Structure 1
Amino acid sequence: MIKSFKYLLALSIVLLAFGCKSSKRIVESGELNEKLSAKQIIKQHEKGQLDFKTLQAKVKIEYTEVGKDKSQNYTLNLRLEKGKTIWLSATLGLARAKITPDKVQFYDKINNQFFDGNYALLSDFLGVELNYEKVENLLLGSSIFELDSKTYKASTHEKSYMLSPKDQDALFEVFLLLNPGHFKMDSQQIFQPREKRFLQVDYKSYQDVEKQILPETFEIIAVEDEDQVTIALEYKSVTLNSELRFPFRIPSGYKEIIIQ
């Protein structure tokens, strides 16, 4: 049960969705220019940073434990105030999560239990030290790492530009693939060979929302030893910049879950 809860909570944190009722899918049309420098690619990527205050959506997800014939489908309600609060609620409020830059909270009415902690759980699950800003960047199609042309080099890989550290750490390898059309992420890949850990985030499609480019669907793959979890996300019925509330109160008498 504890292992399942860890996956569910980690999943809840990453179920942020971005889009709009009037969204339009972007047709990829960019062509690679092998003469572009890392500085130019990073500059174009930074131009695509998003500007909105709040977001509300329904999120359709599929969670799969590969090789174990375990697959589950969910639809969650999401409310988000950019940079401040992520709020998720299951049908009938049977489970609810509230995530801020300082805290990660969750309660489950079915089993009368709750969790009140920080980002250590998600960092351990994905194998990368994360905070609120990095999670938000991952879900917006932006780099989870701070990019600097002094420390990154540019190349091409298939249909994408690729940024990687000039001094690649053999214990922690990073590869960032950017789309030549809009310079958002095509893929973010992190390898930890010694720990046999691998994290890959593949952005399948993007959408144009009020002249902002946002992910439409993407897939998170987390591998540790022989265990692999895949989380596929699709965003539906999304609105931007509405006035939102984020009700959250852990019911009295619930048992606290302590995860070592």
Structure 2
Amino acid sequence: MIDANAVAKEISAKKVAKKHIAANFDNKTIDAKLKVNFNNGKTKQSLTVNMKIIKDEVIWLKGSKFITVFKAKITPTSVSYYSPVFKNYFEGDFSMIEDLLGVEINFEQLQNLFLGQSLLNVKENKQEVKIENNRYILFPEKQAELFDIFFTINPSHFKLDKQSIVNVSKGLRLDVTYPSYNLIEKVVFPSEINIKAKNEKSITDINLSYKSVFFDTDVKMSFNVPNGYKRLEF
């Protein structure tokens, strides 16, 4: 149940963090279809993306535009990608995704990004809270040395409306906004995600909208890099 009229009442930061963690996604698999618009100033692309997730194990993506444009397989330790269009591939660590988003990111954080959960563990550090525009703004009592982090939490379901990671000295900023959620099989799940990654050289906009979402199905994930493709370096 999503109560659109919920009011952000005065409660402790600890309680807000606890409720956000309690709202975490608990199903085992996701099989989703998304519409993705990508724009980094140089490349503007609109794709249909099939996304399959086995929670905490693997994220599989296939981007299509009439034909398969790319496939990617991401595990906690590796990122693999290939493109039949450009005849290239990548196998390695998260440097490719970090290059795309402009900030360091690991598997759990990427998974959380798709689910409307905080990129950082709100239980790990002592948090503070303030209320703005009927939303809870949760942030570490002691901000990290390099980054300032803010989580905007919706009082109706305690998932995120927005999360921001800012590094002023390096001119980096990552904003992930969740304009709306749907109730799917009693699970509160994002229906849209807008990602804005900014560094000193460029701004990348990635807008995702979920077209269909199924949980706990038998997901199949084929991934084989064809012979003769050129290796990408990051």
TM-score when scaled to structure 1? 0.82
Inter-CA distance 130–230: structure 2 relative to 1 (3 Å threshold): same
Higher helix proportion? 1
Matched residue count: 232
How far 1:169 sits from its partner (Å)? 4.4
Task: Report the AA paired with residue 191 of structure 1.
Answer: V
Q: Counterpart of 1:29? A: 5
Give ranges in structure 1 of 5+ residues lacking alignment. 1-23
- Inter-partner Cα distance in structure 1 for 2:214 and 2:125: 38
Q: Counterpart of 1:19? A: none
Contact 2:60 2:74 in 1 (8 A): yes
**Structure 2 matches for 1:100-179, cutoff 5 A?**
100-148=75-123, 151-169=126-144, 171-179=146-154
Q: Deviations over 1:103-157 (max 9, x none)?
A: 1111112222111011123234434332111111121111111113862111112
Residue 157 (structure 2) pairs with residue 182 (structure 1) = yes
Percent of aligned pairs sharing the same letter: 33
Give ranges in structure 2 of 5+ residues lacking alignment. none
Q: Taking CA–CA contacts closer than 8 Å with sequence separation of 6 or more, which of the two structures ends up with the larger relative contact order?
A: 1
**Structure 2 matches for 1:59-74, cutoff 5 A?**
59-65=34-40, 68=41, 71-74=44-47
Inter-CA distance 135–175: structure 2 relative to 1 (3 Å threshold): same
Contact 1:38 1:149 in 2 (8 A): no
Q: Counterpart of 2:212? A: 237
Task: Report the AA paired with residue 102 of structure 1.
Answer: T
Residue 63 (structure 2) pairs with residue 96 (structure 1) = no
Task: Report the AA paired with residue 79 of structure 1.
Answer: K
Inter-CA distance 54–177: structure 2 relative to 1 (3 Å threshold): same
- Inter-partner Cα distance in structure 1 for 2:172 and 2:220: 38
Task: Report the AA paired with residue 189 of structure 2.
Answer: L
Aligned residue for 2:21, secondary structure, equals: helix
Q: Deviations over 1:61-110 (max 9, x none)?
A: 11123xx4853211122222111111122334342111111111111122
Contact 2:34 2:51 in 1 (8 A): yes
- Inter-partner Cα distance in structure 1 for 2:83 and 2:45: 17
Q: Counterpart of 1:200? A: 175
Q: Counterpart of 2:226? A: 251
